[in-house]
Amino acid sequence: MSTVLRVELRDRIAVLTLDRPERLNAVGSGTVDRLTRALNDIRDNDDVRALVVTGAGRAFSAGADLGEIESFTTPGQFRAFVGRLTEAYALLEDFPKPSVAAVHGFAFGGGLELALACDLRVAERGALLGLPEMKLGVLPGAGGTQRLPRLVPPAVAKQMILTGEPIDAERARELGLVNELAEPGAVLETARALATRLAAGAPLALAAGKRLIDYGLGMDLEAAVAYERETVSVLFCTEDRAEGLKAFRERRPGEFRGM
């Protein structure tokens, strides 16, 4: 029986694998609940410094579970489903540890929205990324209309959303939507390597860096720079900052403890 979502902890990396390959990893309520529990469990695990999100089988995710959605009989049921999905993705986006989506095959609809909620994205060459909801007479409802135009030019986001047409990984890399390309069959390995580089950073600085970028984008420049100044001043007082300077002088990697 499918576990819906598997969690593997190794070498300070947590790999979260969507595990419904027979349904192309369609995201339903079970997946959302399991993702939420996994993120809450990992949040306070000091042995985990970074996350990788991927999918089992031949695709990252085909999107939201249409079978479940078709069972809804009222707008309220759909609104509740989208609400749970949105909350889970927001939890991932606001997570204090950096995350990397490892996309292969395709990431459509709610699947791409999951990847958009990650900090960074690695995609296999030839993979397709898209928000096809317009072809069903609706729109993305789990952050897609808002996160995508923050990552690519608004006109590109409009074309993808209003036509429902996907782009390939190579084009996504050109646009900055994808950070790194992987050769076929190597996307998880490439994503893990990127996550390992992230995990080498100081945990407090990693979390603060995420907040500075994400929150600063919503501020005017003067306020954002002031926020940056206060944040780095707090980090200056940490043990990790002292360890980082010592490691630099001794020409060795820092051994950060999140203190």
Catalytic sites, residue numbers: 113, 133
Stretch (H or E) spanning 57: none
Stretch (H or E) spanning 218: none
- Distance, CA of 174 to CA of 206 (rounded, Å): 26
Please tell me the total number of residues recorded for the chain in this structure. Answer: 259
Cα distances from 171 to residues 130, 168, 221, in angstroms, run 12, 5, 30
CA 169: distance to chain centroid?
Answer: 16
- Distance, CA of 10 to CA of 218 (rounded, Å): 35
- Please report, in angstroms and rounded to a whole number, the separation of the first and last CA atoms in the chain: 41
Structure tokens at 30: 């079970």
- Distance, CA of 255 to CA of 202 (rounded, Å): 8
Q: Where are the beta strands (DSSP E) in the chain?
A: 4-10, 13-19, 50-55, 99-103, 106-108, 120-124, 128-130, 167-168, 180-182
Structure tokens at 118: 């990650």
